[in-house]
C-alpha cells in the first residue's frame, strides 16, 4: 500500500482523519516530514466538492492541521497550488494560509508571498494576503 492510498483511505473515514490529526499533532516533533503534495493533490482533485461534503470537510481539517504543524515546510509553489484556482482562489487555501501566517510568520515573510499574489487578477487574493501580513505586523507591535 502506498502513502497516497493511506491518505485516500483516511479521507474516506472522517473519524480516522480526526485520529490521524490528533496523532500527528501529538508526535509532530518525531515526524519531521509529511507528504504535503499528496494532500494538495487530493484537495485539487476535489475541486468545489471540498465544500459541504464529508470528504471535503475531512480533507480541509487535515489541510489545516498540516498548516499548523508543517506550514514551515510549504514551498512557494505549494502555497500557490493551495490558494490559486485559475483566475480565482480557494477559500480553504486562504484559510490555511492564514493559519501559516499565524504559526510560521517568519517563514511566510521569507517566501515574499505578497510579490506572488499582488499581480493576481482576483483582487481578493492580494487583499487576503495583505490583511494577513498587516495583522501579523500589528500583533508583533503589541
* Digit-coded pLDDT (tens) for 41-88: 888 888 777 777 777 787 888 889 889 888 999 999 999 999 888 777
**DSSP-assigned beta bridge partners for residue 85:** 88
> Cell 474516506 maps to which residue?
12
CB 63 within 8 A of CB 46: no
Which is more confident, 75 or 119?
75
Residue-range definition of the domain harbouring residue 129:
3-141
Looking at the 3D structure of the chain, how many domains does it have? Answer: 1
Question: Mean pLDDT of all residues in the chain?
Answer: 77
Number of H helices, E strands in the chain: 9, 2
Amino acid at each position: 500500500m502506498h502513502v497516497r492510498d493511506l491518505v485516500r483511505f483516511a479521507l474516506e473515514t472522517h473519524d480516522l482523519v480526526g485520529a490521524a490529526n490528533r496523532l500527528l499533532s501529538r508526535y509532530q516533533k518525531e515526524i519531521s516530514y509529511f507528504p504535503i503534495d499528496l494532500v494538495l493533490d487530493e484537495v485539487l482533485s476535489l475541486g468545489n466538492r471540498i465544500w459541504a461534503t464529508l470528504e471535503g470537510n475531512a480533507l480541509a481539517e487535515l489541510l489545516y492541521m498540516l498548516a499548523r504543524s508543517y506550514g514551515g515546510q510549504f514551498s512557494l509553489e505549494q502555497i500557490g497550488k493551495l490558494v490559486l484556482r485559475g483566475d480565482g482562489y480557494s477559500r480553504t487555501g486562504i484559510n490555511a494560509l492564514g493559519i501559516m501566517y499565524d504559526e510560521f510568520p517568519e517563514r511566510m515573510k521569507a517566501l515574499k508571498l505578497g510579490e506572488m499574489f499582488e499581480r493576481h487578477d482576483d483582487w481578493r487574493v492580494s487583499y487576503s494576503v495583505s490583511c494577513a501580513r498587516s495583522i501579523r505586523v500589528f500583533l508583533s507591535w503589541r
